[in-house]
Amino acid sequence: MEISDNTRIIDLTVGEFKSLINDIVNGADTPKQRKVVKGIAGIMELFKVGQATAQRYKNGILAPAVQQAGRGCSFVVDVELATELFNNHKNQ
């Protein structure tokens, strides 16, 4: 039996239910959790730079990795993408 998001739990056998729970616990079909840092302080800590340099990075080479995190002035930076962008810029 094919198990989809529309399959009722009552329609599963014990073996299918165990297999489904085991897959969930072991991380099957779980999207990769991305690592982020928050704000200018996060950029400062990640790249070991001062506030002015972190602000330049945010507005320049790291702009594609920056996303607003809700209302106001808070933002998050995707660490993996930011590191890749920084290394690409450094090698140019």
Helix axes 39-47, 79-90, angle to 10 degrees: 50
Residue 84 has pLDDT above 80, yes or no: yes
Q: Same domain, yes or no, for 21 and 40?
A: no
Note whether 49 and 8 are same-domain residues: no
Supply the angle between the helices 39-47 and 51-59 in degrees, to the nearest 10: 100
Taking only the tens place, the pLDDT of each residue in 1-25 is: 677 888 888 888 999 888 888 888 8
Q: What is the mean pLDDT of residues 60-79?
A: 86
Each residue of 44-58: pLDDT tens digit?
999 999 999 999 999
Q: Could you say which DSSP state residue 41 is in?
A: H
Q: Which residue has the higher pLDDT, 28 or 36?
A: 36
Domain range enclosing 8: 1-30
Q: What is the mean pLDDT of residues 71-82?
A: 86
Question: Helix, strand, coil proportions of the chain in percent (round to 5)?
Answer: 50, 10, 35
Query: Are 23 and 48 in a shared domain?
Result: no
The C-alpha R_g of the chain, in whole angstroms, comes to 21
